[in-house]
Amino acid sequence: MSWRRRAPWLLLALAASPGTSLAQEASALSQIWINPGFYSYHFDRDKNLEDANPGLGIEWPINAQWSFTAGAFRNSDRERSNYIGAYFMPFEWQGVKFGAALGVFDGYPNYRGGDWFPAVIPTAAIEWRHWGLNIGFIPPYKDRLHGAISFQLKARFGAPAPSADQ
């Protein structure tokens, strides 16, 4: 695995390794969302793009508005992609959070030769105790990145921490 492919995972490991007690670590780990990739409904239905984008990702909440995220998946061009970033979800209405995913992606052959690029993806999230759904709007960019609505099912195996208003 090249340094280019390892960099997001090393950054995530550094971000996730503050010195905390075992109880705090167990509590923090129970908050982590795990996802199996994405389903993308592409706007250009005639381009034979891959809608099912399997992979593995994590989302680690830091507070009510911010969470780290990282993962790998098979993208719409049928290539392997990696991502690392953060969700910033400052708004909530009727139990739905709104904000954006801010991060870097790679693996898209028609954009920067498959190298890393920054992205801001408007996102909505619905979260229950053990299940959640992130819905993102990926805007098209010329013939390099394909526009889509993405759906990312996520699960966690611990109980979420009580919020300040509970």
CB atoms within 10 A of CB 157: 10
Q: Looking at residues 55-81, what average pLDDT do you find? A: 95
Q: What is the pLDDT of residues 89-146, one digit of tens each?
A: 999 999 999 999 999 999 988 888 889 999 999 999 999 999 999 999 998 887 777 8
Residue 142 dihedral angles phi and psi, to the nearest 5°:
50, -135
CB 89 within 8 A of CB 123: yes
Q: Looking at residues 17-40, what average pLDDT do you find? A: 73
Q: Looking at residues 14-25, what average pLDDT do you find? A: 52
- pLDDT(148) > 80: yes
